[in-house]
Amino acid sequence: MASPKGNPLRSQLEAHQPLYGGWCTLPTSFAAELVGNSGVDYSVVDMQHGLTGYSDLVSMLQAVSLSGAVPLVRIPFGDYGIAQRALDAGAMGLIFPMVNSVSLAEAAVRSCRYPPLGERSYGPIRSRLHLDIDTEWVNSQILCLVQIETREAMTHLDGILAVPGIDGVYVGPADLALSHGMPPGKLSTDLDILLSRIVEACRAGSRIPAIHCVSGTDAQAKVALGYRMCSIGSDSVWLSSGYAQQVALAREQVSEVAGGLY
């Protein structure tokens, strides 16, 4: 009997190797395919701030899967119906934004775990092709990452991380900075203190610390802080900045566009 298919990120994380990810905001499978083929370990389809609707999602997940990267989805805030549909469509993990409390962390777990761990209903229409249909096995493979990105979330950090079924956190540094009176997208010692606090809490609770980064250099710095999953910019960021740099070069000018978060 063949072994059930698994989530490659699980074994990579168990080996304690840093993982680097792509971020898809453009609602097209070709952009997702390009991101997936860039050498990333995983690729996130952003349904919170990205332009992707559910009608675009399935083909984008297919494109990511064919590229060899692991497909993840960030759902819109509080949309637990989309959470279950994204998993049924083949996402191997979900990122839940704006998780500021223990109750929101518990709601995230309920929507992405089958009973008895959660309340996900059974309908693995496409996911059966990639993670089998055994509910206990699927529960062990799906990644559940909750976003820590506000003062309130920092206040409840330890309690959020203690919720059974949470695999780790995904830091939104822009909102984390904004909520603490700092400009988004800027590096600072004060922000690094917050980021280090999150890593320490994850280590204490045996959770995965993940974060969004502005560049490959920034990702290296975040790995040095202890982060184990680092997403690098986004498709729209690199399309915009890369094209602007080449046009500036053609005009013998210096481009001021150098990347960004989303």
* Residue 23: strand pairing partners: 44
Burial class (CB in 10 A: 0-12, 13-18, 19+), 176: buried
Residue of 49, 130, 156, 180 marked catalytic:
49
CB contact set of 153 (below 8 Å; sequence gap of 6+):
98, 99, 100, 101, 147, 160
Which residue blocks in 70-214 are alpha helix, DSSP H?
80-88, 102-112, 128-131, 135-141, 151-155, 157-161, 173-179, 189-205
> Do 111 and 142 meet the contact criterion of CB atoms below 8 Å apart?
no
Residue 49 falls in the annotated catalytic set: yes
Question: CB atoms < 10 A from the CB of 260, how many?
Answer: 17
Residue positions annotated with a catalytic role: 49
